[in-house]
Chains A and B, each alone.
Chain A
Amino acid sequence: MATHPQFPPGTELNEAYMPPSRSPWAETWHLLRQNRMAYTGLVIFLIFFAAALAGLAVTSGSRPWLDPARVRLQEKLRPPLAKPATETLSAEEIPALNIYLLGTDELGRDVFARMLQGAWVSLTVGFVAVGIAVVIGILLGGIAGYYGQLEILLGHMTFWALVAGAIATAFSGMLKIAAALSLAAATGWTCWRLRQASPDKPLPPWLRWAALPTLQVDTLIMRAVDIMLCFPSFFLILTVVALLPPSIYNIMVIIGLTSWMGTTRFVRAEFLSLREQDFVAAARALGISDMRIIFRHIMPNAVAPVLVSATLGIASAMLTEAGLSFLGFGVPPPHATWGNILSDGKAFIFDAPWLTFAPGLVILVVVLAFNLFGEGMRDILNPKLRERN
């Protein structure tokens, strides 16, 4: 039974009429502690986060403490927990820990150091890719949900078509046409603005076509989602990554740009139902601006499930990155990622199984932790499963 300090001790209190004794945050934390799988996931995630940060610190720089790129050909394929043969190594070749915790690979590089270096790659790819996807998803979903019923006018369409044409022609080198198109766009925009400044006067006949409605904002965004969903996602990512120069940033951006559709649909649905609720109507009646309603009133109610699905998205982004590294795309070679350690090790699968199992198990555990935590949070945030106390 909860205690209520504002009442003198001994007062008869009926718990059913009291406000919940815990704040929402404390309540969530309490439920999380009870859900063993989700809690374990959180703990593993924190350990992984710390390891990735520590890994970045000890393996980067010009003279790293643990050098993931140091080649020791006389020490190749040593099993895990092997001691380095100090007599054959020069002073700077001896690993800092004086033990190969996870063995060495076919070039005698320390697998433990390489795993630490790869942790940071996995972490950043997961977070940045999902961050991009969530930002796009919230923006487009929010616009579609809140402003969805607005019509896009023919004038807007013409303006954007002119801008797109200008950009396209500028890139193909036809600078004169580009200049003409951008001039036309700028003139049209200025005319429109000047007209908008005096709304009581009717539009002159030569501008009236621009006010014709074409299609709704909602339709536009949702059709864009449909189009994106038609692409086979892994194949699309693979194509773009293969065509662009190898870089970790390309992978992050591409995974982000190909995975925002789910969030968009979700946020749109949330916004559509929330904008009809009484508290939003009240806020609007008070004359609060749209931006404030969206960000202070609607967003806090819609964002928790989005973050949960983002957690699951991080897991799948990490798997995608590992798959791409495994196929040999992505981060250029001397840099280690979990996927390319495994990919390099597959030739020695019977002689040096640790080259397969170390990265494989670590990917498995980290992705599992994200999935368990995300699914657990989904259950916890589901009000049907909450008990009142």
Chain B
Amino acid sequence: MLSYLGRSTLQKLVTLFFVSVISFLIIHLAPGEPSQIDPLNPKFTPEIVERMRKEFHLDKPLYSQYLLFYRDLFTGRIVSWKDNQPVLGKIWERFLNSLPLFIVGTLLTWTFSFPVGIRSAIGRDGVYDKSTTFLAYLLISIPGFFFAYIMIILVVTHLHVPVIGMETFGVTSASPLVHFMDRTWHLVLPSILGATGGVAVLSRYVRSQMLEIIGQDYVRTARAKGLSVETVYYKHALRNALLPFVTMFGLILPGLIGGSVIIESIFSWPGMGRMAYEAILARDYPIILTVNFLTAVLVLLGTLVSDLLYMVVDPRIKL
């Protein structure tokens, strides 16, 4: 167990190193530099550009830029090139904005997928199964931005509630109840949209897991003993079908920092995705690289957590 932990941590650190090198190279070898982003601005005289290049270490060779960047990142001194704010502080602020979306979206995904998946597995090839299957494909195939506009039209014309942004401007002066309802309404659409894809994929996965378990001999034995259908499905089958999903708790970890670029820009939600998008447009390399690095850390941590969880819940697995 401990040796596994040590080995896989080492392996993941090596992977992380290569990820950091590759993302750095991709960003820095692409044509164009941040100092050239606004060539028509009269304030950008050659001297200023030269000073900026010096300030951002852009005049140094690539390897020392790399070392300087990751030294700054690990000592927490790294600042955004756009507004000179500390990057980690900016990310933390945006992370807190994205967090409610992530939590509500994940809760929706997990609460809807399981009942739907289990029911369609039990009534295989029935009307319910066929229609949820089709619905799942529909939700996987619909472009997020198109679905967002359909929902906006529906909600705005029928429910008359505000949807764009995180809260209505000036609502902080209203009563706490109004403020709370306003925040909630703003949260509804983006989190539903964030959850649709997840519900569709996860419910299909639950269904196939459940089908596989239902086909096993011990389930038939349980039925043959004369146990009631509920006991067989929910006590015998479901418990084993749930095993792979325990590992998924680790795999949703990267979603913490992901944040959907498209959904957040449609709803003007000041979250992680939008920040990353704006950083890309402004060629704010420190933010792009830090977001990339943190995502890679979370992905690797997620796989480690899911391996460990699997070992805890399934004694057959020996690592």
Contacts and interface: CB of A to CB of B under 8 A. Distances in A.
A242 B281 contact: yes
Given A223-B15, A346-B149, A349-B152, A232 B143 contact: no
Tell me the dominant secondary structure on chain A's binding face.
Answer: helix
A240 B22 CA distance: 12
Contacts of B5: none
Interface residues of A, number: 44
B149 A372 contact: no
A264 B19 CA distance: 19
A285 interface: no
Given A232-B292, A232-B295, A371 B137 contact: yes
A245 interface: yes
B295 A349 contact: no
B153 A232 contact: no
Interface string A227-243: 10111101110111011
A226 B14 CA distance: 11
Contacts of B280: 238-239, 242-243
Interface in A238-252: 238-240, 242-245
Contacts of A37: 134, 137
A336 interface: no
Interface in A344-389: 346, 349-350, 353, 356, 359-361, 363-364, 367-368, 370-372, 375
A30 B262 CA distance: 41
Contacts of B144: 323
Nearest to A322: B143
A342 B300 CA distance: 37
Interface stretch (B23-31, B108-116, B311-319): B23-31
Contacts of B137: 37, 368, 371-372, 375
A371 to B, nearest CB: 5
Interface in A266-289: none
Most chain A CB atoms below 10 A, which of B144, B146, B149: B146
A244 B15 contact: no
Contacts of A49: none
B18 interface: yes
Contacts of A227: 15, 18-19, 22
B19 to A, nearest CB: 5
Interface in A123-182: 172
Interface in B47-63: 61-62
Interface string B110-148: 000000000000000000000000100110111111100
